[in-house]
Amino acid sequence: MLTLLRSLKIYFLILFIFFIYRVSFATYFSSINFLQENFYQTVKAFFFGWRYDTIVICYLLAPFILLNILKPILLIDFFKKSLDRLLFLYIFLMTILVTLILVGDFG
């Protein structure tokens, strides 16, 4: 249960980062009038973006979830603690990498 809760928190954190990027991208490269005139298409584009972002996030979270499922099988406490550190480092680095890719896309 803890693995699911942690995974959902991370999912929503990364989804929020993607959403902020999508809003910034839309407002930077188009005028507000254009977005208001094409509101239905804008909402539809954000929905398709959410679906795409969910796929990317699931690929990022797959190793995290699999290793968390395997964690109870490991009998030695040292491996459990080092696995927690490794998973935190993985999620942190992947979030930084995705953020850098999104920021670089503005270029």
Predicted pLDDT of residue 12: 93
CA 15 – CA 23 distance, rounded (Å): 12
- Look up the pTM and report it: 0.78
* pLDDT above 90 for 107: no
| Residue 57 · residue 19 · CB < 8 Å | no
- Average pLDDT for 2-22: 87
- Average pLDDT for 24-31: 85
**Helix 2-29 and helix 39-70: axis angle, to 10°?**
150
Q: In 3D, which of 58, 53, 55, 61 has the Cα closest to residue 21?
A: 53
pLDDT in tens, 43-99: 898 999 999 999 989 998 888 888 877 777 776 666 777 777 888 888 889 889 888
DSSP secondary structure, 10-22, as one string: HHHHHHHHHHHHH
- Average pLDDT for 23-27: 87
Place of tokens 């990317």: 56
